[in-house]
């Protein structure tokens, strides 16, 4: 299988699976057929990467770079995605960004 190293895959809270490229994101919905659904990049990925905690008040030192938030997201490899949900879903993710 051709590597699509430009697509990044993330897992949030050990169960939410996402893929992204150029600030566009998709969430994997593991129903009977499994499918990728477009989602808001900021809410699904970026807020976690930057540790943004919207529950903290403006000016709080914990609103950004909050480790308890940023520790909930992990970038994973294409091979790990295949282990979790199968090769078909990875191949389908390639066509999302064309």
44-76 as b/e: b if 16+ CB within 10 A: bbebbeebbbeeeeeeeeebeebeebbeebeeb
pTM of this structure:
0.87
Band the pLDDT of 84: cuts 50, 70, 90.
very high
pLDDT given at position 36: 96
Number of residues that make up the chain: 98
Q: Measuring CA to CA, which residue among 27, 23, 24 is closest to residue 13? A: 27
d(CA 53, CA 62): 7
- Number of neighbours of residue 2 by Cβ within 10 angstroms: 6
Digit-coded pLDDT (tens) for 48-80: 999 999 999 999 999 999 999 999 999 999 999
Band the pLDDT of 5: cuts 50, 70, 90.
low
* Helix 78-85 and helix 87-95, axial crossing angle in degrees, nearest 10: 120
Whether the pLDDT of residue 37 is over 60: the answer is yes
């Amino acid at each position: 299988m051709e590597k699509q190293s430009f697509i990044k895959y993330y897992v949030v809270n050990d169960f939410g699976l996402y893929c992204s490229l150029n600030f566009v994101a998709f969430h994997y919905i593991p129903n009977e057929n499994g499918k990728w659904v477009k989602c808001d990049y900021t809410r699904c990925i970026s807020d976690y990467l930057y540790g943004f905690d919207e529950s903290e008040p403006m000016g709080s030192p914990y609103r950004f770079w909050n480790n308890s938030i940023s520790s909930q997201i992990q970038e994973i490899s294409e091979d790990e995605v295949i282990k979790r949900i199968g090769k078909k879903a990875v191949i389908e993710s390639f066509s999302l960004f064309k």
